[in-house]
Each structure stands twice: as structure tokens, then as C-alpha cells.
Amino acid sequence: MSRDRYAVWAPHATRMELVFTDHEPGAVHDAADRWAVAAVAPMVPAGAGWWEPEAPVEERYASAGYGYRVDGEGPFPDPRSRSQPDTVHGPSRRVDADGFAWRDGDWSGRDLRGAVLYELHVGTFTDEGTLAAAAGKLEHLVALGVTHVELLPVNSFAGGHNWGYDGVGWYAVDASYGGPGAYRRFVDDCHAAGLAVIQDVVYNHLGPSGNYLPRFGPYLTERSTGWGSGLNLDGEDSDEVRRYILDNARMWFEEYHVDGLRLDAVHALQDTRAVHVLEELAAETDALSAALGRQLVLVAESDLNDPRLITPRAAPGRDGAGGYGLTGQWSDDFHHAVHVALTGETDGYYADFGPLSALSKVLNHGFFHDGSYSSFRGRHHGRPLGDQVPAEALVVFAQNHDQVGNRATGDRLTATLDEGQLAIAAALLLAGPFTPMLFMGEEWAASTPWQFFTAHREPDLARAVTEGRRREFERMAWGEDVPDPQAVQTLTDSTLRWDEAATGRHARLLELHRTLIRVRAERPELTDPDRATTRATVNKERQWVRMDRGVTGDGPGVVVLLAALGSEPWPVPEDVGGYRLLAGHGPDGPLTGIPADGSVPSHGFVLLSRG
């Protein structure tokens, strides 16, 4: 249904006014300043809780900042604003979505099969912290061999910088990153380089600052997600709240040409309706994909270990698998198993992953908790994947923004592991059966941490965040070491140092990642969707891990990974003694062949091939 460009949903309002300001973009930044109004246009009901201007808006206001007064209060920015140059507290600005000259008319998208994802945060990926600067690094990503660039949330937020997960302007690209024009140029440049773009979106909650949605309507519920109030997905007036999510997804696909969405923490979406909002989103995305002639993917972050998310939907009017039909989901179990196997850390949710057999179970079956008891949760958790789920539907990682950034000091594996152990992590990730994802800088063992940072302008909120962060880690005796999220230094310390990628072990591990990604692309056994063609075994006493890929019977696979995690070298087994070396790395650097003693060195691996 086509609506006026200034239409707004406010179902319980009795009076609505469209207001305009004559401020230049970027001139209003004080959250306490409700920006001066230069003109007012009355609005009238348009049905179903929507309001439209009573008369056509004069053309002279087409580029002016605007917002709404709701029952005399405000002005407040547009809930669907495409541009907020004065942060989420300031006036909204219109954007001409049709004015950009796209060059990607032949682009058809990319599937997850055979994909290698690369997760990055625009603000700390480069010193400049902009989309334009990030585009200048695309040559590096192409040379690395990744296929998809996954951006942490870029929607507008209240302060100068943050992770992006407490944003409130869901429809606006933050001005600090370059705004909507810079985002379009970034996606267009990615497609020209052969890279797909996945945008991380947060539909489960809104941030604590600048959330004016409740002023317009019943967008939120009283049910907490742990990060704030959840969205009203199943209560009265929830049809339009769901539409707010579905239309946002459509915006990214249609107006910004993104190839996929990563859906943050979908386990926090509280929806009791017969058709879950995720199933509705997947159905609309599939229909839009067919209409656009372009592959679109949806990848969920989920703590549920529930294969229903990635099981095909039932056809309308027919019995079927009955899943939500998402393309993929993150699997923390892979991360936990690899992390514990290499670091020996067994605190908190790592406790159940202490035995090395946890790693082989994850490699063989996808989920570790598949109905098993979770000591961290104090209950049984998850269910088996089942045969309908292809291997690439699980997106896995040895590091990501959460698993690094939610550590007290934001320390990467680089801080505790030697070169050989880091190489093993890369081999398990990139030679494994699932869709691998790298976290920015991981490919060269970046020395920079990635810490939790915010820039809240409200003193009480800033203080609460800082104190709350330290309390969170006091039980682990880390409270005094937790960096202040509000300190600019925390942001600076988390910014990548690109110059180190060409030196020492950084350069050697970068070359290893390039090699492993190239081998992954060349060897069909490594991207086989059939999970049954992977067989992983471990020797817990000697800390050896073997993973056979391309298994068709009882014999060895076509490609075999041997990793010696512990202090003992591993004599190459006889059944793969004649295989050739595809890649190998030890604590002192790359291996150019099987060592003279015929053993895999401790803290090392070899990737072998029959042909």
C-alpha cells in the first residue's frame, strides 16, 4: 500500500502535527534541545492508525529537517527516518533512494555454500572509522579470499560511537560512518569487487537513549529481553510493529542492495503468534529474492540450538518440515569447543566443553548441546540438527565481536596462544564442514583488543554503563581491569593497526589464512553440504584431533586435517602416509612438507590430500 512520504503510525494519538526546522544538517546535537520549529503542517487520520499531512507539503520543505508533535509533545524524529545527521535526537532528513547510480545491475548475490564471511565494525576497522575508509580495504579482503562482508549494526545511535547494538534509528545509517550515501557507495564497491554484503540488524530491543517509538505507539512490551524492553510482536496493535521490522528488512534489500541480514539474538524475540515473525520474515525475503532476481540470505544469532530456525518451511496448505526457513544461524558451540581445546579455559559457559570430545562432537554433529545437560544453564538444552540441515547452514567462528568484546579486557586469542595454536584455530575453522566467519584482524593475529565502548552523552546513563560493566566481571576478579566504556582510549585501543599485518607472525598467519581459504575454494570436499562426509576423532590423552573430509566409507577421507594441540608431536598415521601436503603450520611458522621425522609438530597441524 502506497502512503504519503510523511505518513506516520500513531494509533492512539488524538492530534498529530508535521513540523519543519530551518537548521542546517549537523547543527543540532544537544539531546536537551528539542530543536526549534520553523513551520507546522496539520495531519489527519488516514486509517489503521496512520496519519498523513492534511495538504500536500510545499516543495520548499522537501530538504528541510522534519519531525512530529504528538498530542502537543515534541518534536520527535520520524520512526522511519532515513537520515539523522544530528543523531537520533535531532530532526529527520529525507533521502532520495532513487538518486543513486548503481553499477551492480548484473549482480545476482551469493549463497552461503562455499562462503567465507568477514565480520567488521566500521568505526574500528580503520583509523578514520568510516564506510569510505572501509571501502579502501576491499582489495585486502578480495586477496584474502572472503566472499561476504558482514557489517556490525550501522543504524543511527545517540552518541559519537558505540558497538551499534543500542541503536534506535533502525532506518537511518549513522552520520558518523558517512550516512546513507556512503553506505550505498560501499555496497556498490563491494559488488564490483565480487563481495556480498550482510548487514547486522537488531530487532529484539532498542537502546536506552533516543528511543522515541513509545511516543508514537505501542511498539514495546513490558517483557524484558535483558537489554531492555522487547518489541510488541504478539499483543494488541502488533501487526504494525511487525510491519516495522519487515519493512526495515525490505529497505536494506531494496534501497541499499544488501545481500543478507544477520539477525541479532533472535532468542529474545518474544512472539507467541501462530506464525513467528522470523517465519514471516523468511517468507517475505524469499519472495523478494525471486522478484529481484538476486540471492538473499538471513542468518540468525540464536542461543536456542533449535534446528527449527534453519529447517525449511512447510508449503502453504501442505504438510512439511515446519521450520522457519532461515538460511543459516550462528553456532556458539563451535567457538566454545575450539576455544577450550586451545586455551584450557573452562569458566562459566565453557565448563561443559572441557573434554576434547566436545570438539569432535561439534565437528561431527554441529551442536554440542543437542538435548544434553547444560551445567551453565542448569538444565537440558537444544536438540539434534537432523538430516535436512546442510552443513553450510551453521555459521561458525573461532572469534567474533561478542566472544572477544564480552571478555573483560576484550582480549583476542592472540593474547594467549602461540603461532601454532592460532594456526590450528584457523585450520579447524576453514577446513571444517560449516560456513566460516573471521573477525576483523583475526587473519593476521591482530594485537589490538576489541573492547566494549560507548559514548553516551547523558551523565547518569554513562555512569550506569561504566559501573555496570565493572560489576559484571567482579565475580571473576576482573573488575578493576575492565576498561571504561566511555573513555575515548577504549575506542582507540580497539582500532586495528593495519601496519602490523606485514610483519613477523602477523604476516605468516595472514598468508596461512589466504592459503586455507584458497584450498577451501578449490577442494569440493571442504564445502560438501552433506554433514555425513565429515568424520572427526580425538585422542584426549595426547590432545590430537583428526578431521577427515570427503568420507564415503570406513577408510580415510579425501582431505585429512591432523592437529597436535598438546605437547606431543603426532606421527602421521599410516593410512594417510602417502597424502600430499596442502597446508601446514607449527609454532615456528609454515611447514613446506611433512617434517623429516614424519610427525606433526606439537602446536601444529597438517592438511593432507589424497590427490
Place of cell 544488501: 258
Q: What is the pLDDT at residue 207? A: 84
Q: Which of 111, 264, 333, 419 is catalytic?
A: 264
Q: Which of 86, 119, 280, 301 is catalytic?
A: 301
Q: In angstroms, how far is CA 293 from the centroid of its own chain?
A: 24
Q: What is the pLDDT at residue 480? A: 59
For 453-510, how does the pLDDT look when each residue is reduced to its tens digit (9 = 90+)? 988 887 778 787 777 777 766 655 455 578 888 999 999 999 999 999 999 999 999 9
Is the pTM above the cut of 0.85? yes
Average pLDDT (165-189) is: 95
- The least confident of 163-167, 250-254, 275-279 is 163-167
Considering only CA atoms, which of 193, 187, 183, 188 is closest in space to residue 139?
Answer: 193
Distance CA 545, CA 537 (A): 6
Segment holding 13, helix H or strand E? none
Count of positions (residues) in the chain: 611
- Integer CA distances (angstroms), 400 to 152, 410, 436, 451, 606, in order: 11, 11, 11, 12, 25
Q: Where are the domains of the chain?
A: 8-94, 120-327, 515-609
In what order do the strands lie in the sheet containing 50-53?
8-9, 50-53, 39-47, 16-21, 65-70, 73-76
Distance CA 309, CA 326 (A): 6
Tell me if residue 264 is catalytic: yes
**CATH (one of 3.40.50.1000, 3.20.20.80, 3.40.50.300, 3.20.20.140) for 120-327:** 3.20.20.80
For 356-401, how does the pLDDT look when each residue is reduced to its tens digit (9 = 90+)? 999 999 999 999 999 999 999 999 999 999 888 999 999 999 999 9
One-character DSSP codes across 163-229: -STT--EEEEE-GGGTHHHHHHHHHHHHHHTT-EEEEEE--S---SSS--HHHHS--EEEEE-SSSE
Burial of 139 (0-12, 13-18, 19+ CB in 10 A): exposed
Average pLDDT, the chain: 93
Distance CA 540, CA 233 (A): 47
For 49-66, how does the pLDDT look when each residue is reduced to its tens digit (9 = 90+)? 999 999 999 989 989 999
Contact call for residues 199 and 154 (beta carbons, < 8 A): yes
Distance CA 592, CA 8 (A): 64
Average pLDDT (132-137) is: 98
For 203-244, how does the pLDDT look when each residue is reduced to its tens digit (9 = 90+)? 999 888 889 999 999 999 987 777 777 899 999 999 999 999
Burial of 604 (0-12, 13-18, 19+ CB in 10 A): buried
Percent of the chain with pLDDT over 70: 96
Distance CA 424, CA 570 (A): 14
Contact call for residues 185 and 131 (beta carbons, < 8 A): yes
Verify cis geometry, omega within 30 degrees of 0, for the bond prior to 436: no
- Name 502's Cβ contacts closer than 8 Å, sequence gap at least 6: none
Q: What is the pLDDT at residue 222? A: 83
The alpha carbons of the chain give a radius of gyration, in whole angstroms, of 25
Considering only CA atoms, which of 173, 146, 180 is closest in space to residue 157?
Answer: 173
Of 13 and 162, more confident? 13
SS (H, E, C) 125-137: HCCCCCHHHHHCC
> What is the fold of 515-609?
Immunoglobulin-like (2.60.40)
- CATH class of residue range 8-94: mainly beta
- Is residue 317 over pLDDT 60? no
User: What cell does 196 get?
Assistant: 556480498
Considering only CA atoms, which of 208, 201, 206, 106 is closest in space to residue 154?
Answer: 201
Give the pairing type, strands 435-439 and 8-9.
unpaired
- Highest mean pLDDT range out of 76-90, 154-168, 313-327? 76-90
For 416-426, how does the pLDDT look when each residue is reduced to its tens digit (9 = 90+)? 999 999 999 99
Tell me if domain 8-94 and domain 120-327 are identical in fold.
Answer: no
- Integer CA distances (angstroms), 179 to 70, 78, 87, 508, in order: 27, 16, 11, 37
Q: What is the pLDDT at residue 33? A: 58
